[in-house]
């Protein structure tokens, strides 16, 4: 990893979605004060349950959804309030791979049109040149050249995801948000796509924000991990620290839920009760206290401080300093 050059900075980012119609003051707090950095060339894993704000995070970084508060910096520029027009030159630097390979490709366009679109937008006009580049990209992501005139519905989920990936890398971005890129795929295909994503990173020196709820995939791909719960970061750190020495009870619960071959310690699993609470009216104090196996009275009264455990390992819990 190139030593610690920050590519993306997210500072105290908030995204509230208004709910309840006109005049209502209620809001779903999808992101409530998120801060983290992404370094050049690394893969940052963003994990958490469904509904914790992971996908919103990716969209806000890319400027697809405006932030309510806070800042997003890309390569030294504050892009939080960039207009669509100001973002355009940056589109060739930041891309996304979508979660749903069935929904993210226009059903009326052929593979050629789909992959050529970003090239056209960014200035490549010559038809021969476009075709050459599209074929190059198709080869790179492992699609046969004779698929070029086919429509998305003729492909399997894995192949569609490859089309989506080709589209994302077509204009040589530096940063790609991978929004659960394999969660909609069969397990057998997941591995192929994960390996492709990894191969591309090596070859192009890409930086990834890898959003996922699958901790095995994250372990395989990521250098550092941020664990989110209900719109806030509960723990972050490098892969080794998170997997070998998880501190936050939520992280521990997530990790103990990962099925593993030969793991007979089933009885030691921490099973979380109930669903994630509503982001419209999040629990007071520590947001996790309603489900936390170690909750104490203080947890429902005070928001926990952020504790630095060294080596970039951060945790938000009243008790991660040692005690219970």
Cα(102)–Cα(298) distance, rounded to whole angstroms?
46
Residue with Cβ nearer another protein (85 or 323): 85
CA atoms within 13 A of residue 244's CA, in its CB half-sphere = 5
**Least distance between another protein and beta carbon 60 (Å):** 13
**Least distance between another protein and beta carbon 237 (Å):** 30
Evaluated on CA atoms 185, 191, 194, 196, the torsion sign reads negative
**Least distance between another protein and beta carbon 108 (Å):** 5
The Cβ of residue 120 has, within 10 Å, a number of other Cβ atoms equal to 12
**Least distance between another protein and beta carbon 210 (Å):** 17
| Residues 26-43: b if buried by 16+ CB within 10 A, e if exposed | ebbbbbbebbbbbbbbbb
**Least distance between another protein and beta carbon 87 (Å):** 7
Residue with Cβ nearer another protein (113 or 214): 113
Residue with Cβ nearer another protein (76 or 107): 107
Sites of contact with another protein (CB under 8 A): 62, 64, 84, 87-88, 91-92, 95-96, 98, 100, 103-108, 117-118, 121-122, 151, 153-154, 164, 167, 171
**Least distance between another protein and beta carbon 153 (Å):** 5
Cα(48)–Cα(307) distance, rounded to whole angstroms?
20
Name the β-bridge partners of 11.
71
**Least distance between another protein and beta carbon 269 (Å):** 35
Cα(182)–Cα(193) distance, rounded to whole angstroms?
7
Residue with Cβ nearer another protein (18 or 305): 18
Q: Length of the chain in residues, anyone? A: 324
Residue with Cβ nearer another protein (200 or 242): 200
**Least distance between another protein and beta carbon 102 (Å):** 9
Residue with Cβ nearer another protein (174 or 318): 174
Question: What is the per-residue DSSP string for 4-29?
Answer: T-EEEEEEEEEEEEE-SSTT---EEE
**How do 224-229 and 43-47 pair as beta strands?**
parallel
Residue with Cβ nearer another protein (50 or 284): 50
CA distances, 166 to each of 46, 122, 266 (Å) = 23, 15, 41
Residue with Cβ nearer another protein (169 or 232): 169
Contact 62, 73 (CB under 8 A): no
């Amino acid at each position: 990893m190139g030593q610690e050059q920050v590519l993306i900075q997210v500072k105290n980012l908030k995204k509230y979605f208004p709910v309840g119609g006109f005049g209502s003051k209620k809001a779903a707090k999808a992101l409530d004060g998120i801060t983290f950095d992404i370094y050049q060339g690394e893969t940052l894993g963003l994990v958490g349950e469904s509904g914790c704000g992971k996908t919103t995070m990716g969209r806000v970084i890319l400027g697809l959804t405006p932030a309510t508060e806070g800042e997003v910096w890309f390569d030294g520029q504050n892009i939080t309030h960039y207009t669509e027009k100001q973002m355009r030159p940056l589109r060739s630097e930041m891309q996304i791979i979508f979660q749903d390979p069935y929904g993210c490709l226009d059903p009326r366009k052929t593979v050629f049109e789909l992959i050529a679109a970003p090239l056209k937008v960014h200035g490549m006009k010559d038809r021969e040149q476009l075709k050459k580049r599209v074929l190059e990209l198709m080869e790179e992501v492992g699609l046969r050249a004779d698929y070029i005139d086919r429509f998305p519905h003729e492909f399997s989920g894995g192949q569609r995801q490859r089309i989506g990936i080709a589209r994302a890398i077509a204009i040589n971005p530096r940063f790609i948000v991978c929004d659960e890129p394999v969660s909609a795929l069969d397990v057998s295909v997941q591995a192929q796509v994960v390996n492709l994503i990894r191969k591309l990173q090596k070859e192009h020196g890409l930086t990834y924000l890898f959003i996922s709820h699958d901790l095995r995939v994250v372990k395989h791909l990521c250098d550092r991990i941020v664990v989110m719960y209900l719109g806030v970061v509960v723990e972050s750190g490098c892969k080794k620290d998170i997997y070998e020495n998880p501190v936050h009870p939520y992280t521990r619960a997530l990790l103990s839920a990962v099925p593993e071959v030969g793991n007979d310690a089933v009885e030691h699993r921490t099973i979380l009760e109930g669903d994630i609470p509503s982001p419209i009216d999040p629990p007071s104090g520590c947001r996790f206290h309603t489900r936390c196996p170690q909750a104490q009275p203080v947890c429902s009264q005070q928001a926990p401080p952020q504790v630095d455990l060294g080596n970039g390992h951060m945790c938000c819990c009243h008790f991660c300093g040692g005690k219970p």
